[in-house]
Structure 1
Amino acid sequence: MAFADHKHWLYVWIPLFGAFIWFSTLLSMLITWLATGRQKYPSQEGSIAYISDVGASYLKPLFIAGSSITAVSFFLSLSIERWLRHSRRLPPNMAMREKVFSILAIIGSAAGGAGLILLSVFDTLHYTRLHRGFLLLFMLGVALSAIFTVIEYRWISKDFREYSSLRGAYIAKGIIAGILIALAIAFAVALYKSPDVGAVLEWTIAFGFTLYLATFVYDLRLTKATYKRQFASTIPMRDI
């Protein structure tokens, strides 16, 4: 019984590990740039280095490794959440539209994750256009995934009103995602208008993504002390 009560930790470690790796990667890169006297990298335009500028230097292996682990963790977090709802260890999707948005969120995470890995491989110094294209793919993929996830959670919370945790989950995701999307739009403008402002926004968005990824720790932890098909007969499934 003790093992069953703590099985949720097997899932929780995935987004937790991904968030830790991403935060540690960013922090290491930022500290390195500051510790070396805020050096100006070959690809750097303004006085503040972009993550991509630092990632195109000798820290490229770290950037690729951190980005890859983060991308896989993000995708797995959403995939496991979908599986847990399907097996009904979490409140399940009670309508086809919820399943569709859940799958779209996973596809978005896959696209965003692929963009993150590729932008770290095709660095801004040697592959500027490709790098920016993959950066756009990463941001769009994550943004769409977040929007689809928030919509899915909102619909599920209406079917399971007794679980206040569901409402809290989609509100937290909605707030974080909304802020990050707004910052991403500002970043897209600043990238061409004010390089230094764009750099600050990029670091802020990147660290903010850590918070979004960490919200899945809370979601998966809700499987604590639940068992397969626990929500099997709660509410009959609808067609839409």
Structure 2
Amino acid sequence: MAAIPLRYQHWTYVWIPLATAAMWFCMLWAMLIVWLASDRPRYKSDERIAYISDIGADVLKPLFITGCAITGVGFFLCLVVERILRNSGRLLPNMRKRERVFSILAILGALIGGAGLLFLSIFDIRRFSGAHHAFLIVFIVGVGLSAIFSIIEYSWISKEFPRYIHIKIAYIAKAIIATTLILLAIVFAVTFFKEHNVGAIIEWIIAFGFTFYILTFYYDLVQSKNMERGELAARYGGQGSQTNVMTEIA
């Protein structure tokens, strides 16, 4: 079997955030369209605007579980693959121990958030409201921490790297999207108890906004295009060494 040409090998990885974002986005639209086509039925919350969880607890629960499972696993894999590519030298390697630590913490956050997403879909709002709300918090906190750790890790990468501008674009995009979603999550927590219809609208905005956060990993992983295994590690060195970078710049 012929080997995949180097310029195409990055597609082995970038399909993960693309497929994950597509699954999540299409699931949300399918749920919204079905609700609208069903003449906007009122669920447990008895509000004009249905929460995603209300729709997901009805006839579309199989779709909700499937979509949440694929999205949770895909989100986790995005960070794991990025970590593997950095270790293999196809993405910029860690220069300091703290970068590696925060990368691992981001992966753990994604694992927790993904698990919370799966279980909140299984323990639906209609039959297990207490467990559903608990796992919703786990999902939000897990994804939020993962985003914060990823942004911190990226911000510590040395400005002396020739490819620094590409990394800067990635973490600025992540920071803007993550900050916006975290602020909206706080507003959602307040309106959930006081203005249910407003809370439902904000929940839909947060959910669709999460699609764009997942897509930022496409930009991260596509940086491995045309990079041989170990190429960036050989060029810039690994954790604790910046000698090769300074030599190349000089």
User: Would you say same fold, with TM above 0.5?
Assistant: yes
Deviations 1:162-189 (A, max 9, x none): 4311000000000000000000000011
In structure 1, runs of 5+ residues without a counterpart are none
CA distance in 2, matches of 1:159, 1:135: 41
What aligned pairs does 1:85-234 form with structure 2 within 5 A after superposition? 85-158=86-159, 160=161, 162-233=163-234, 234=236
What aligned pairs does 1:5-84 form with structure 2 within 5 A after superposition? 5-41=7-43, 43-84=44-85
SS at match of 2:45: coil
TM-score of the two chains, using structure 2 as the length reference: 0.92
Matched residue type, 1:100: V
In structure 2, runs of 5+ residues without a counterpart are 242-250
CA distance in 1, matches of 2:15, 2:237: 30
2:93 and 2:239 in contact (8 A); partners too: no
Pick the structure with greater CA Rg.
2
SS at match of 1:158: coil
CA distance in 2, matches of 1:213, 1:236: 27
How far apart are residue 160 of structure 1 and its match?
2.1
CA distance in 2, matches of 1:237, 1:220: 20
Q: Which moves more between the two structures, 173-182 or 153-162?
A: 153-162
Matched residue type, 2:196: P
Q: Using a 3 Å threshold, how does the CA distance of structure 1 residues 55 and 197 change in structure 2: closer, same or farther?
A: same
Q: Using a 3 Å threshold, how does the CA distance of structure 1 residues 16 and 93 change in structure 2: closer, same or farther?
A: same
Deviations 1:128-180 (A, max 9, x none): 01000000000000000000001111112535254311000000000000000
How far apart are residue 44 of structure 1 and its match?
2.2
Matched residue type, 2:193: Y
CA distance in 1, matches of 2:27, 2:223: 28
1:94 and 1:159 in contact (8 A); partners too: no
Q: Using a 3 Å threshold, how does the CA distance of structure 1 residues 179 and 164 change in structure 2: closer, same or farther?
A: same
1:45 and 1:195 in contact (8 A); partners too: no
Q: CA RMSD in A?
A: 1.4
CA distance in 1, matches of 2:164, 2:188: 37
- Report % sequence identity: 53
CA distance in 2, matches of 1:87, 1:2: 17
CA distance in 1, matches of 2:238, 2:160: 10
TM-score of the two chains, using structure 1 as the length reference: 0.96
1:33 and 1:54 in contact (8 A); partners too: yes
CA distance in 1, matches of 2:59, 2:238: 56
